[in-house]
Amino acid sequence: MKYTSKQGNYILAALSCLTVVSTAALIRLGKDNYYFLALTVCFGSLFLFFALVQIIADILSTTDHPATKNSDNFNYLLTTNGVFMYTEHGFSLTVAQKHTLIEWAQVNTLLGFKADLLTVDCICLDVFAANNVRFRISEQTLGWYTFLRKLEELFPEIDKGWEFRIAQLPFATNLRVIYDREKRSLEELQDQLYTS
């Protein structure tokens, strides 16, 4: 039988109680009341200590604890599709109030950068696809992590550490080419994609 830590704590508390009762019974037979009182106080205090530790542990280990909620929330953020719907050959989302289906083969360019939001920085990704489709997502976009995972699976040439490199320079936008089908430079892409 395998014991959990909670069961182990209950067993420890029960053994402490049994020790107190056994010791008290043995001393009581000897009729020495001073030792009986001292041992009862000593072992009784230990029992109370273990019982309080168990009660506090039970209270803190409930699923309503904020740390548990944060962990569940983060796991949800890591796994949700969010604003994206995935198909076998691409994904869809709403771009400029229009439901748009984009095939992975239509993704031409990915540019990553850091946006300064005063108190925090936010990593962003501009996606440029065929037919002049373009959209921007950020790490605050629901489905961000799943989308990045899919990009890395389908475009193995994407540097796995691009988010970290963008985040490194403080107070800088740090615009970088994450992927470009035609292997153009950042300067060319800025001229062609951001000035048109």
Residue with tokens 């995972």: 149
Q: Which of 138, 145, 126 is nearest to 81 (CA)?
A: 145
Tens-place pLDDT, residues 171-187: 789 999 999 999 999 99
Query: 1 pLDDT band (50/70/90 cuts)?
Result: very low
Tens-place pLDDT, residues 63-77: 554 545 666 787 888
Delimit the domains of the chain by residue range.
5-61, 82-194
Report the range of poorest mean pLDDT among 9-23, 68-82, 100-114: 9-23
How many CB atoms sit inside 10 A of residue 30's CB? 9
